Amino acid sequence: MNRQGTRATGTLTRMTPESSPDLRTSYRQVLAVSRFRLLLVGSTLTGTADALRIATLAMLIYARTDSALLGAVTFGVGFLPQVIGSTLLGSLSDRIPPRRLIASGYALECAAATLLALTDLPIWTCLVLVAAVAVWTPVCSGANNRVVGEPLTGDSYVLGRSLLNMVSSGAQLVGLATSGIAVTALGPHRALLVCALAYAVAATVLRTGLPDLPAPGRGTRGPLAERGPWSVMRASLASTRGTLAEARVRGLLIAFWLPTGFVAGAEALIVPYAGQRGFPTASSAWLLACLPVGMLIGDLAVGRLMQPAARERAVVPLMALLGLPLIAFFASPPYLLCLLLLTVTGTGFSYGLGLQRAFLSSLDESRQGQAFGLLASGLMTLQGVGPTVFGGLAQMATAGTAIGGAGLATLVTALWTSTAVRPAPVARLHENGPR
């Protein structure tokens, strides 16, 4: 197996660029980059805290209101506001030094979780607080992803994203799995204090360990060089318009966004589907766990076993694999087959690894942070929209029909991707990689 070397550039450890699209790197090499290890620790802590906080708050609100609707709203209220943050504040990812920005984002999450834990705020105040914090999320996410993209290039960047995806899936599983235990053993308010502690540790680790890197927008001309609160919005809107105006970047964003939104719609219907089919009440938890388990398997297999060029060729087949098993729900499969179908669906999420290098190479360095924030906020927004759309379809038909419809929509997107999103020439990948 070919390996990429590393070299020191001042205080920055940078992976050397690839000379061939098939040159492989390893997870060990990626983990050797100290900055990436710190971000991985931060993502693990905050990902677990996010899942625990959402589940705990949903239980708390449901216990206080006995409203299934408000319990469901609690799960989605942190998604939709992110598009506002990305559109109006996203340029801050390229204007503020990343260490300060990322640490402040985790500190803000800590403060919100502490306030929820120590006070009995009205229900709608709780929801507004969660939504307000979510507006800041894509700004920090953009800075975080840009910091990952600077020291890692080519295949090392893709493997870095693979590790972050696996950590995200694992953290989600841990947070959701322990939420019931934490609430039972500690009570919801103390469980929220555990979330606050995890955010505080993450903020401290990143603030003390991450190098004090400059913001790329400093010293530039144009919107990023402007100062003042309104300039942030003007620069963010201009950067968003510029990013979406580029046909290649727009196509890649759509290829990331749509399948995720469709499958999120299907995932939201798993519990109603289990109820309509008469499965045992506790069985829906196992069905819900299948998707993140499949994601872990897919990211590990595709990231570890496939050559870089092979990953990029596999984008459309893997995206189709994301949707095809869901189409089987039109036929009302039995419980054990549902477990298998949902696990296979989860493995299809690894199609995104084949798009990561092309997306990074297509971005101008001066607005990478906002572009990453736009990618993340779009994913979160469609995870809020998808359940609404397919939930409406389930209301008119059945949950199984809506899940099958989500799979069919994903398959159509895969067919569109095969013609609309073509791999970038290898030379361009090397020329326009992170500098």
Note whether residue 105 is domain-resident.
yes
**pLDDT score for 236:** 62
Single pTM value for the model: 0.64
- Identify the pLDDT of residue 267: 83
Instruction: For the chain, 435 residues long, give each residue's pLDDT as a single digit of tens.
Output: 343 333 333 333 334 434 344 456 667 777 777 788 888 888 888 888 888 887 788 777 767 776 655 655 666 677 777 777 766 766 676 677 778 888 888 898 899 989 988 888 888 888 888 888 888 887 777 777 777 766 666 667 777 777 777 777 777 777 766 776 777 788 888 888 998 998 999 889 888 877 777 666 554 444 444 555 556 566 666 666 766 767 787 888 888 888 988 998 888 778 778 778 888 766 666 787 788 888 888 888 887 778 778 888 888 999 999 999 999 999 989 989 999 999 999 999 988 888 877 777 777 666 666 677 677 777 777 877 787 788 778 878 888 888 999 999 999 999 998 887 765 544 444 444 433
Is 334 part of any domain?
Answer: yes
Q: Domain of residue 352: give its range.
A: 25-431
CATH number, position 92: 1.20.1250.20
The reply to whether 29 falls in a domain is: yes
3-state secondary structure of 168: helix
CA distance 49 to 366: 31
Residue 207 CA: distances (Å) to CA of 97, 211, 236, 382: 11, 9, 25, 31
In whole angstroms, what separates CA 400 from the centre of its chain?
26
Question: 3-class DSSP state for residue 120?
Answer: coil
For residue 245, give every residue at least 6 positions away whose Cβ sits within 8 Å of its Cβ, in sequence order, or none: none
Phi-psi region of 219 (alpha: psi -120 to 50; beta: other; left: phi over 0): left
Closest CA to 267 of 158, 410, 61: 410
Which amino acid is it at 50? Answer: D
How many domains does one find in the chain? 1
pLDDT at residue 328, rounded to an integer = 93
Q: Are 42 and 106 in contact (CB under 8 A)?
A: yes
Q: What is the CA radius of gyration of the chain?
A: 21
DSSP class of residue 246? S
Give the pLDDT score at 422: 60
Distance between first and last Cα of the chain = 26
**pLDDT number for residue 8:** 30
Buried-state track 282-297, b at ≥16 Cβ within 10 A, e below 16:
ebbebbbbbbbbbbbb
Q: Tokens 């060029």 belong to which residue?
A: 309
What local confidence, expressed as pLDDT, does residue 392 receive? 79
Question: Structure tokens of 426?
Answer: 């290898």
> What pLDDT score does 216 carry?
62
What pLDDT was estimated at residue 337? 93
| In a domain? residue 15 | no
Residue 18 falls within a domain, yes or no?
no
**Residue 311 resides in a domain:** yes
Per-residue pLDDT at 428? 42
Going by C-alpha positions, the residue among 82, 93, 83 that lies closest to residue 137 is: 82
The reply to whether 222 falls in a domain is yes
Number of other CB atoms surrounding residue 396 within 10 Å: 8
Per the document, the length of the chain is 435
pLDDT given for residue 197 in this prediction: 92
Structure tokens given for 93: 């990812």
In a domain, 5, yes or no: no
